[in-house]
Amino acid sequence: MTLLAVADDPSCYSRLVNDWICADYVADRRSEIVDATVQHLGITVVSVLVGLVIAFPLALLARRVPRLESAILAVTTGIYTVPSLALFPLLVPFTGLTATTVVIGLALYALTILVRSLLEGLRAVPDEVRESATGLGYGRGSLLMKVELPLAVPVVMAGLRVATVSTVALTTVGSLVAYGGLGNLIKDGVLTNFRAELFTASVLCVVLAVVLDVVLVLVQRVLTPWTRGARA
């Protein structure tokens, strides 16, 4: 009784209460939560960008050399099959317990989705368009940059959205090597049976995925102004 009396106004995150939702927890541990969110965001964005940078030449190569296409798709799909909790340890001998391990692992997963969507996007460009552009005197490079890639944007962006949203979710597993962003809080919450921390981090994860998805939709609208005109 005396103990309870001393704790005049027990915070909702005290051991005695252990509430799921707790504004006091968020206020008191604000810097910790912000740090984890920033780390999560950073790992996600860098991973997807690295994936995109690698996927682009691979997709072009697969398109130029049809014989390589099935090999490239098979290898990237094969990587995707490897569970993340297994992939990170397999990378550790090369990269150590660093954020690099997580970024490489996640970039490899994003690669699978991005190579496929880049290939599909480029394939979806109608032949007439390609021929007209060639007839107008476009060379191979300018055809790709000025005609094919812009027309492939909707399909590529669809893949990018999938890759981004699933990377946000996957980043949590990086907590195995201590670089999981919000996943670190989730792990800590599970280990210490701390509901407010677990719940807050989980919700932030989903919110982060939704926010990034909305950002990508807006980017797509800016990149493809013609689709808006056609719909109206």
Interacting residues with other proteins (CB under 8 A): 70, 73-74, 77-78, 80-90, 92-93, 109, 112-113, 116-117, 119-120, 123-124, 159, 162, 165-166, 168-170, 172-173, 175-177, 183, 186-187, 189-190, 193-195, 198-199, 201-202, 205-206, 209-210, 213
Q: Considering the complex, state which of residue 55 and residue 205 has its C-beta at the smaller distance from other proteins.
A: 205
151: Cβ–Cβ under 8 A, 6 or more apart, which residues? 121, 124, 125, 129
Q: In the bound complex, what is the minimum distance in angstroms from residue 80's beta carbon to other proteins?
A: 5
- Is 67 exposed, middle or buried (CB count within 10 Å of its CB: 0-12, 13-18, 19+)? exposed
Q: How far is the CB of 157 from other proteins (least distance, A)?
A: 14
Residue 162: CB minimum distance to other proteins, A: 7
Is residue 75 classed exposed, middle or buried when 0-12, 13-18 and 19+ CB atoms within 10 A define those classes?
middle
Residue 21 gets which letter from DSSP?
-
Residue nearer to other proteins on the CB measure, 43 or 170:
170
Nearer to other proteins, 80 or 138 (CB): 80
H or E element at residue 87: helix 84-95
How large is the angle between the packed helices 195-223 and 182-191, nearest 10 degrees?
160
Q: How far is the CB of 144 from other proteins (least distance, A)?
A: 20
**What amino acid is encoded at 44 in this protein?**
T
Q: Which residue number, 24 or 120, has a Cβ lying nearer to other proteins?
A: 120
Residue 20 backbone phi and psi in degrees, to 5: -75, -45
How near is the Cβ of 59 to other proteins at its closest, in Å?
11
| 186: enclosing H helix or E strand | helix 182-191
**CB-wise, 29 or 116, nearer to other proteins?**
116
